[in-house]
Amino acid sequence: MVKSLIMETMESINAIVHGTHGDPFAILGQHQLADGRTAIRAFFPEATAVTLLRPNLPAKRMTKIHPDGFYTITLPQPPDGYSFDLTYHDGHNAERQDPYRFPSTLTNYDEHLLSEGSHRRSYEKLGAHPIRLQEIEGTLFTVWAPNAQRVSVVGLFNAWDGRRHPMRHHHSSGLWELFIPGLGVGDLYKYEIKSRANGRLFIKSDPLAFAAELRPKTASVIWKLDRHVWNDDQWMGKRPYHNALNAPINIYELHLGSWKRKKRGDEWLTYLDLIHELIPYVKQMGYTHIELMPIAEYPFDGSWGYQVTGYFAPTSRYGTPDECMAFVDACHQADIGVILDWVPAHFPKDEHGLARFDGTHLYEHADPRRGTQPDWGTLVFDYGRPQVSQFLISNALFWLDKYHIDGLRVDAVASMIYLDFSRKEGEWLPNQFGGRENLDALAFLRRLNSSIHEQFPGTLTIAEESTTFPDITKTAANGGLGFDLKWNMGWMHDSLNYIQNEPVHRSFHQNTLTFSLSYAFSEAFVLPFSHDEVVHLKKSMLSKMPGDRWQQFANLRLLYGYQWGHPGKKLSFMGGEFGQWREWTEERALDWYLFDEDEKHGQLHAFIRDLNWIYREKRPLYEEDNAWDGFQWLDFRDPDRSILTFARHAPSTGESVLIVCNFTPIVRHHYRMGVPHAGNYTEILNSDDKKYGGSGITNPYPLHSTPIPTHGQEHSIELTLPPLAVLYLA
């Protein structure tokens, strides 16, 4: 009978032994023979002998029918469960469960949703999940590789031998699945994929791995995501109010690895370290949210996280997934929202990543005119493939679900929208109507935002989009893309261009500042001074400022005061709040030593802290950012003196805050300014105050309005304008 079995199955056995079999469950495991008996087959190339173990029955030695380690045994009837006892070359023994005796866990409905790309939480089915199956602890692996001939799970547990754990193939969906007993949290793994297209072997990290090795290693790590006990119910219940467009939103953008380092060895702070270092700092400074530059796993430090290889794994640079959750939890308990920089526009070509995942252009568009990003040397997602869209939308929902993230800043939206982005004539492929818009990407962004707001109401989506593409923040149902907010890149460029002029030349460029109000309410905006503005020889924020050292600090305080007063939510990058001189780099911590070298850095720091808290406390500065109801020009027609005055209003309370900007180093005595209401006005912030490093020219007493028409207003006040300064009056 053994001889007959060998004759019938030798071709399949050779395919298993040589790693070419695409349907291992057809040969391995338990099978009923034509004569009613049961055959059990196993492949253990590492063993010198294999014994079958059955409950309450004698052990039986299995027969090796291939010298490379294929074993079989025939039984008169099916056993009531079984395992294997392996004898190794060094003489020791170990009991092993058979992965090929367990049934599939994928339902037809799961397969249907995953194959059509409509499973919005695919991370609940794909990836590596520690589970208990038929009373056996192990890990269930599932991966999408429709063009593979064979997919195997490999790791230290099988000496990275792809022959030993080939997966079950679901032909209709392109999914591969295998439950491996004995594997659990912390075990390393990858997928070995044999391409059907060319027969080549690829070793890939899991696209849905929940954890990853520390670079330069690239293995995926089995993790269980339900172990952290969350204590942020109060925040989560109030999150819609914290994230509302009529709430104060003042974002501190940071790179976790270079905000601060450990004093010894210049090591990164961990997620747990950051709970004790970063959170109290952000809380004291008065920021409402932090925005983390990408923390999904990435191989190259110099990419800052914008070239992702592990979309579902927080980078192991700073700790474990549980510790990352604890960090977010602690932020929420301190009433700090967490926004994640998210990168669905492109991915790197690293061999262990998504590129040519199953030997074909699976995640990326096959045509290089659409599938490559020339500026960054990366690949562009094929948004028209339902499973790729499903991967990205599930990833967005994953961070909101499992990590309680409060919002996503979507990177490089313009590169997604336009087919000719960074491409010359002839290097791009028009859409079906001959246009330059990527219709698949637009449809994806609408589905993304609709899914996020349906599944997690109260969370924010923010577009980093640098063009005039319309209706970015209009709802998808009304023809827009559905984002809550859009970075106002035009405001940022204009403001920096203006402030870098020497004051004597600013009178010729005042329209650069005032132009932003011509479109300020066309979208819901964030006003950003981000990391992009302090790298690649662009200088730090303080170094951009003209004049001597005193003027540089004064100009920067003035610029920030203008930013906080202008309609729009606020974002500033770490280091700018205390005036770092050097450009930012991910290779070192911020220059905190500056506080000890020059008191002006601490004074600027105090100004930003007070500015943040005034912003939070004064409703006119945030309540109505998206309509003229919240803004009023008082005077923008004074370019000769480079003065701007405007009012911010809170329609709900009738309160107002007046903002006065003097962009020259000249003191303006007896400056008469129109005011929207009669009454007394008090200076609540003056960037020229000595405590902020200014010259100390203030208006210390209440300013009484008089019925002298000025700036189109029936009443006015007279005050002194300090040099290169901003005043807030209430």
Q: Cα torsion for 216, 222, 225, 229, to the nearest 10°?
A: -90
Residues in the chain: 730
Q: Which helix (H) or strand (E) holds 4?
A: helix 2-17
Residues 422, 436 contacting (CB under 8 angstroms): no
Residues ≥6 apart with Cβ < 8 Å to 654: none
3-state secondary structure of 546: coil
233 classed as catalytic: no
3-state secondary structure of 591: coil
Q: What is the 3-state secondary structure (H, E, C) of 664-718?
A: CCCCEEEEEEEECCCCEECEEEECCCHHHCCCCCCCCCCEECECCCECCECEEEE
Per-residue DSSP letters for 465-491? --S--S-TTS-GGGTS---SEEE-HHH
Residues ≥6 apart with Cβ < 8 Å to 463: 410, 413, 472, 473, 481, 483, 485, 486, 487
Q: How far apart are the C-alpha atoms of 88 and 94, rounded to whole Å? A: 8
Handedness of CA 656, 657, 662, 666 (dihedral sign): positive
Residue 728 class from Cβ within 10 Å (0-12 exposed, 13-18 middle, 19+ buried)? buried
Catalytic residue among 411, 440, 610, 688: 411
CA 608 centroid distance within chain: 26
3-state secondary structure of 442: helix
Instruction: Give the residue carrying structure tokens 């609540």.
Output: 684
Q: How far apart are the C-alpha atoms of 414 and 490, rounded to whole Å? A: 14
Terminal CA-to-CA distance of the chain, rounded, Å? 96
Residues 340, 405 contacting (CB under 8 angstroms): yes
The phi and psi torsions of 636 (rounded to 5 degrees) equal -120, 15
Single-letter residue type at 427: E
464 classed as catalytic: yes
Q: Which of 703, 719, 717, 639 is nearest to 674 (CA)?
A: 717
Q: How far apart are the C-alpha atoms of 34 and 15, rounded to whole Å? A: 22
Q: Which two tokens stand for residue 704?
A: 């009484």
CA 407 centroid distance within chain: 9
Residues 74, 1 contacting (CB under 8 angstroms): yes
Q: Which two tokens stand for residue 725?
A: 């300064």
Catalytic residue among 98, 464, 494, 533: 464
Does the bond joining 216 to the residue before it have cis omega, within 30 degrees of 0? yes
Q: DSSP strand E in 90-240: where?
A: 93-96, 127-133, 136-144, 148-154, 168-170, 175-181, 188-195, 201-204, 220-221
Residues 566, 488 contacting (CB under 8 angstroms): no
Q: Which residues are catalytic?
A: 411, 464
